[in-house]
Structure 1
């Protein structure tokens, strides 16, 4: 048991290190978690600034990891962007992290479609249902149309 009070900078730092050891966090996420644990709101910013200076906390690293993980789980750039904004990552960092996987969005959209459906829509209602699913996963309308059009073309080619 530590002899220091719960509000000390050292206790805040130790808590941050434990949280960061599990996974990357954005500055805002850590701030919220620390505030929820009743640490001093006046000491938290200074500790977070120190962690950033020591490169233990990085919104850029967090955004890259977050975008990569969410892509692999079948989410698109629109949803990922919104989630990163909600976690306090600035627009420039979001753009940078999404550019890292920019060339693979179409492949991720195809994979999400295949996992869920795998069969081209047979009518307009089914097309709309599949499009809503992909849009809900955060893929742009352009990507959704492209994937569903490809599926329809493949279906036509195999039917002939």
Structure 2
């Protein structure tokens, strides 16, 4: 970008790799690229004259636009927590104020909601991934979810729902275990504990699979 007060748009080319972005040339030299929405908004057409202040505004708005689109694409793969989006934008090289502004906009538009995210995550993990509440709590904490929201999410998992999850997992694991009956039960108990199920859930799941409670072979 030139240091003169005003510059003239001499050429505008659509990028080959990104059909929504355009390369803008000022006074015969490449100056910057911009999203098509801003190209239209600011009428960056050949022959148009822009000053330094306008250019600065355009570049700042384009960066905000890029950050927003990067976040939307990231969320589009699957729901994300606020912390995950912030980390992704940081990895993309955006500065903290811009990251926070982008997140605030997504929160206002309900694209981000840690309460709903935590509930969805908990339900999905217990039902399809066969994880217990303790495991889920640890995962949500890593994703930056507030403790109260984590508690609300795991409380939404019914005891029978968690027990069914543990029992399903135990039935698949049981035939793969080696050793005497006593040792197999010990291994099954330890396996379920590592998956984040509480001792009471594990004990009941083992009992349903083996016909004996954990106390009976302690």
TM-score by length of 2: 0.64
Distance 1:118 1:90 in 2: 39
Distance 1:78 1:118 in 2: 25
Q: What is the aligned partner in structure 1 of residue 17 from structure 2?
A: none
Map 1:1-160 → 2, pairs under 5 A: 1=21, 3=34, 4=59, 8-71=63-126, 72-103=128-159, 104-117=161-174, 123-153=181-211
Superimposed CA distance per residue, residues 6-47 of structure 1 (whole angstroms, 9 cap, x where no aligned partner): 982221111111111111000001111111111122210121
Distance 1:61 1:85 in 2: 15
- Structure 2: unaligned runs, 5 residues or longer: 1-20, 22-32, 35-58, 213-218
Change (3 A) 1:108 1:117: same
Q: Which has more strand, going by share of residues?
A: 2
Superimposed CA distance per residue, residues 40-84 of structure 1 (whole angstroms, 9 cap, x where no aligned partner): 222101210121111111111211221122112111110010000
- Asked if the contact 1:26–1:57 (Cα under 8 Å) also holds between the matched residues in 2, the reply is yes
Change (3 A) 1:42 1:111: same
Distance 2:91 2:142 in 1: 17
Change (3 A) 1:118 1:99: farther
Q: What is the aligned partner in structure 2 of residue 157 from structure 1?
A: none
- Asked if the contact 1:7–1:40 (Cα under 8 Å) also holds between the matched residues in 2, the reply is no
Change (3 A) 1:145 1:119: farther
Distance 2:62 2:97 in 1: 9
Is the radius of gyration larger for structure 1 or structure 2?
2
Distance 1:37 1:149 in 2: 50
- Structure 1: unaligned runs, 5 residues or longer: 155-160
Number of matched pairs: 154
How much is the aligned-residue C-alpha RMSD, in angstroms?
Answer: 2.3
